[in-house]
Amino acid sequence: MFLIIEYTVTAIVCLISSIVIQRIFIKEKLRGADYKAITGIKWFGLAIFVWGLGALVSLVSSTVFDYEGTNKLIIYFGVLVSLSNSLFIILSLPSIEHQKKRGILVRLIEKFSYKEFIILYIGVLAMISFVFIAASYGNPDISNNFIWLIDIPISILVAFSLLSELNKAFLSRKMKFMYLPTFALFLLIIVAVSHRIIPQDRVLQFVDQRFWSIAGSITAISFKFLFILLFSILLYSWKFLSEKELQQSMVVDLEHKVFEITQERDKLRIANESHIDTIKNLKVKVNTLESDSRIDLSERQKEVLGYLAFYGEEKSYTEIAELMHISVDGFQTHIHQIKKLLNISGSGGKDQLISFAKTNNFINYTSLEKNA
C-alpha cells in the first residue's frame, strides 16, 4: 500500500516537474542564454524525469502485473533508474555556478566531454553490474538487495558532491540559510540508500514492518521533493542573478565605452591642438621664408625684366639694350645682378628670366607695345 502511494506521488510530481524544467531550459536556450550555464537545467530535468519514469514503471508493474517490490527484475530496474539519476546529477554539477574551488568529482567531469563521460560511466558500471548479477542472480542465498551495492557508493559520492556544490552556490549568492535544507537533503539520501541495502528480515527484529515501510516511503518521497525544491530555488536565484549580472555587465560595458570615447576625444583634442600649433609654426616659417625669399628689385631691374619678357623670345640682349637706349654692358650688368638675386645660373638662364618676368607681370613696368 505504502509503495503504491510512493510510486504514484513520485511519478506525478517528478514527471510534471521534469516537463516544466525542460520547458524552462528550451525557453532559456531560445532566449540566447549561455548554453554552458543552462546545460545544468537540462541534466537536472532528466534526473527528475528518470525518477518519475522509474516510479511509473514500478507502479504499473505492481498494480497491473502484481510484481512485488522484492522481485529481482524490479530491483534491477530500480538500480538502473538510480544509476541513471546519479549520472544526470553528476553531469549537472559543473553548471552550478559559484566562485569557490570546484570539487574533485566536478574537476574530473570537466576533463571529459559529456559524451566521453557518459560512455566511461556506462562502461565501468556495466562491467561491475555484470559481476554482481552473475554472482547473485541464480544464488538464493544472496539477498536480492545485494545488487544495490553497485549504486550505494555512487549515490553517497553524488550526495557529498551535490551538498558541496549547492552550499558553495548558495554561499556565492549570500543564501547561507539554505545550508540546513541542503544538509537535510544529504541526510535523506543517506537514509534512503541505507533503507535499500539493509536486509528487511534483520530490520524486522528491531522495528515493526509497517513502521519500516512508512519510513522508507516517506524518506524516498521527501528527499525527491527536497531535491526539486532546492533545485527550483537555485534555478530562480540563478535566473535572477544572471539577469542582474547581465545588467551590471551592460553598465560596465557602457562605462567602458564612455571611457574609450572620452579618451578618444581627449586624443583628438590634443591632436587638434598639436595640429593648430603645427599650422601656426608652419605659417610663421612660411612668412619667414617669404620674408627671406622676397626679392627687392630696383625699378630699373623690373623694367629690364619687362623688356625681357616682351622681347626676350625674339631678340638678343644687345637688341633689347638698344631698344632701352642703354649700353650693352649696362644691360648685362642688370641681368647679372638679377640672376644673382634669383640664384639663376647655367645656359638656360635667359629662359628662366623670361619665365620669371612673365609670371610676375613685369611687362607692366614698361610702356611698350609689341610690334606685330
Q: How confident is the model at residue 118 (pLDDT cuts 50, 70, 90)?
A: very high
The CATH number given to 2-238 is: 1.20.1070
Burial of 261 (0-12, 13-18, 19+ CB in 10 A): exposed
* DSSP classification of residue 102: P
Place of cell 567602458: 256
Considering 111-120, 148-157, 220-229, 284-293, the range whose residues carry the highest mean pLDDT is 111-120
CATH architecture assignment, domain 299-365: Orthogonal Bundle (1.10)
DSSP states of 161-223? HHHHHHHHHHHHTT-GGGHHHHHHHHHHHHHHHHHHHS-HHHHTTTS-HHHHHHHHHHHHHHH
CA distance linking residue 2 with residue 268, whole number of Å: 80
Q: Smallest Cα–Cα separation from 81: which of 136, 141, 12, 7?
A: 7
CA distance linking residue 327 with residue 329, whole number of Å: 5
Do 231 and 237 contact (CB within 8 A), yes or no? Answer: no
Do 2 and 217 contact (CB within 8 A), yes or no? Answer: yes
Q: Smallest Cα–Cα separation from 197: which of 142, 119, 238?
A: 142
pLDDT at 370: 47
Q: What is the mean pLDDT of residues 253-277?
A: 81
Burial of 148 (0-12, 13-18, 19+ CB in 10 A): buried
Do 234 and 169 contact (CB within 8 A), yes or no? Answer: yes
Q: Smallest Cα–Cα separation from 65: which of 83, 80, 77?
A: 77
Percent of the chain with pLDDT over 70: 81
The 10 Å CB-count burial string (b at 16+, else e) for 113-147 is eeeebeeebeeebeeebeebbeebeeeeeebbbbb
pLDDT at 141: 57
Amino acid at 131: V
Q: How confident is the model at residue 17 (pLDDT cuts 50, 70, 90)?
A: confident
CA distance linking residue 86 with residue 31, whole number of Å: 29
Residue 304 in grid coordinates: 629690364
Do 18 and 43 contact (CB within 8 A), yes or no? Answer: no
Place of cell 538510480: 82
Q: Smallest Cα–Cα separation from 323: which of 311, 313, 333?
A: 311
What are the domain boundaries of the chain? 2-238, 299-365
Helix axes 328-342, 299-311, angle to 10 degrees: 100
For the segment 30-76, what is each residue's pLDDT rounded down to a tens digit? 887 777 767 888 888 898 899 889 889 988 888 887 777 667 777 78
